[in-house]
Chain A
Amino acid sequence: VEFLFPHGFKYPPDFHIPSLTGESLFHVGPLSYTNAHLTMAIVIVLLFGVVWLATRDLRERPSGLQNATELLVQGLSDFVVSIGGPSARKYLPLFGTLFLFIVVSNWLSVVPFVGQVKFLHSPTADYHINFGMAVLAWVAYQTEGFRTLKLEYAKRWFNLSGFKDGPFIGAIFILVGLIELFSEIFRMLTLTLRLWGNVLGGEIMLVVMSGLLFLPGLALPFVGLEVFIGLVQGLVFALLVLMYFVLAVESHDEEHQEGSHTDTDRVPSPEQHPQARAA
């Protein structure tokens, strides 16, 4: 018993809850370099290292690491095309970068010592970094919307076309546009908080569970759960950014035309999908 509890038996034990943000390591002028920055650099070095090793000698018939990397990139590319069609393939760099960075950061948060020692803190468990990524994605997709649709893009927020059907319809269109404008701003907040809350909540849960269950190995199922949640949250962040891009570049006027080709592939006609016969 003394071997198991060298400081005396105490239940529940004192938890070392991971801090909500990174802690400053040193200052450069007014800017501070936190342990989240350091871990972010480690993530970047990790990803760059894998990519550098995979593309060091490229072959026509890939094997080993090059094969795995190509499989991953091809899978991400196919996924992007299945969401937004072939024209969405140009968003693959942003989507893939966000996905890989977030997933590797999330998985670092369940590695022992990350979040517990002073020098290591998972980047996505610090809301500043999530907010930075959300702002970057937000600015990028607004820019893309304005570049594709020009001034017509702003029509989704300030739509005066309803006034030709009477003042009441016009007022409703204005109101809907305002709600749309607010939801546009809240997208940044929800992207940030969803990722941060999930990763930090997972870290806290792992600490509490391994404290309450005495034996460290009993908390292993929760590590598996956290690995899964990290993957899903990385996918969700990148997927939502991709969806915002797809929604930003589609024109509202063409969408509601009956019989357009975009209409038919959402609602399949009965000839294409005949009803299953009863057995």
Chain B
Amino acid sequence: VTIKQIVKGKKTWNSLDLPPGSPSASVSSAPATAVGLLTAKSSEAIGRNPDAAGAIRTNMILGAALAEGLGILSFVLGILLWTRIG
């Protein structure tokens, strides 16, 4: 199976026989880094300006959720591989 056959529509992604965990395994370090950076920076910001803690925390939760969304998308992709839907 080559990528060319998949792009032309002759084969599906399932014929690559990827392990179902591979999308999550390869992607999940990126959102983890992003969430870590977000938390570190917003902790610093709260330390500098404790009055703005509420707004900073809200922004942090929003940003963490958006960053985590990518990891969750890879998890969904893994489930698609596992159930052989895609």
Contacts and interface: CB of A to CB of B under 8 A. Distances in A.
Contacts of A193: 69, 72-73, 76
A12 to B, nearest CB: 14
A88 interface: no
A278 to B, nearest CB: 14
Interface residues of B, number: 14
Given A20-B79, A82-B54, A232 B61 contact: yes
A196 to B, nearest CB: 8
Interface string B57-79: 01001100100110011011001
Given A82-B54, A239-B58, A201 B65 contact: no
A55 B42 CA distance: 40
A190 B69 CA distance: 7
A240 B68 CA distance: 14
A193 B55 CA distance: 26
Contacts of B58: 82-83, 239
Given A20-B79, A20-B83, A82-B54, A198 B72 contact: yes
The majority secondary structure among interface residues of chain B is helix
Contacts of A197: 72-73, 75-76
A17 B71 CA distance: 20
A235 B65 CA distance: 10
Contact of A236 (B54, B62, B73, B75): B62
A194 interface: yes
A82 B53 CA distance: 12
B36 to A, nearest CB: 16
B68 A243 contact: no
Interface in A40-61: none
A235 B75 CA distance: 21
Contact of B69 (A83, A194, A200, A201): A194
Nearest to A127: B76
B73 A243 contact: no
A239 B61 contact: yes
Contacts of A190: 69, 73
A96 to B, nearest CB: 16
Interface of B: 54-55, 58, 61-62, 65, 68-69, 72-73, 75-76, 79, 83
Given A232-B65, A240-B65, 17 more contacts: A20-B79, A82-B54, A190-B69, A193-B69, A193-B72, A194-B65, A194-B68, A194-B69, A194-B72, A197-B75, A197-B76, A198-B72, A200-B79, A232-B61, A236-B62, A239-B61, A243-B62
